Structures are given as structure tokens and as C-alpha cells.
Structure 1
Amino acid sequence: MKEKSYSEIMKASVMKRIKAKETFVLELYVDMLISEIQLQTRKEKLLTRIDKAIDDRDKPLFLTLTEELKDLNKQFGT
């Protein structure tokens, strides 16, 4: 079995670290994308419920839902 030289071992080590960083960044992007999708879904559902509360003239529910929407926007900075 051929032994690897020091420089080959170092190159392999660097490549492993680069690959680990790339994997981390990719996983971070995926997490961000999933979070954004979840946020948009929650907002759409809230807006639909707010519209229904308006149609039903349910003021207490409307006020509750709009506060929830404000909190959601504040929490995510939108």
C-alpha cells in the first residue's frame, strides 16, 4: 500500500474542511428557506382568517387576529 505524502495529507484535510463549510452553508440556506415558507404560510392563513372575521363582522376575533399578525411581523422583522 502506497503511503501518502505530508502535502497530500494536508490537501485532503483542507478539502474536508472546505466541504464541511460548504455543507454547513447549504444546510443554513435550506433552514432559512423552510423558515421563510413557514412564515409566509402562517401569514397567509392569518390574513384569510382576518378576512373571514371581517366578513362575519366578528370584531373581537378580528382584533385578536390582527394583534397576532402584528406580533408575527414584529418577531420576524417584516
Structure 2
Amino acid sequence: MKEKSYSEIMKASVMKRIKAKESFVQDLYVEMLISEIQLKNQKEKLLIRIDKAIDDRNRTLFFSLTEELKALDKQFGT
């Protein structure tokens, strides 16, 4: 069995750390993408309900839903 030199061991260690960082960043990106999709989906549903409340001239529901929309925007910083 051939033993690895110190420089080979160090290179392998650095490569492991680089791959771990890349994996972390990739996982973080995927989570951000999923959150963005969920936010857009929630907003779209709320906007449809707001439009229906306007069509039905339901002021109470309209104001309630717009408050939900404001809270959602505030929660996600949009």
C-alpha cells in the first residue's frame, strides 16, 4: 500500500472543505428557491381572494385579506 505524502493529504483535506462549502451553498440556494416559490404561491392565492372580495363588494373580507398580504410582505421583506 502506497502511503500518501503530506502535501497529498493536505490537498485532499482542502478539497473536502471546498466541496463541503459548495454543498452548503447549494443547499442554501435550494432552500431560498423553495421559500420564494412558496411566497409567490401564497401571494397569488391571496390576490385572487382579494379580487373576489372586490368583485363581491365585501369590504370586511377585503380589508382582512389586505392585512394578511401586508403581513406576508413584511414577513418576507418584500
| 2:56 corresponds to | 56
| 1:21 corresponds to | 21
| 1:7 corresponds to | 7
1:58 shift after superposition: 1.3
- Percent of aligned pairs sharing the same letter: 81
Q: Which runs of 4+ in 1 moved over 3 A?
A: none
**2: distance between equivalents of 1:28 and 1:22?**
10
Give the TM-score taking structure 2 as reference length. 0.96
Number of residue equivalences: 78
Give the TM-score taking structure 1 as reference length. 0.96
**2: distance between equivalents of 1:2 and 1:76?**
55
**2: distance between equivalents of 1:76 and 1:25?**
20
Q: What runs of 5+ residues in structure 1 fail to find an aligned partner?
A: none
What is the aligned-residue RMSD (CA, Å)? 0.7
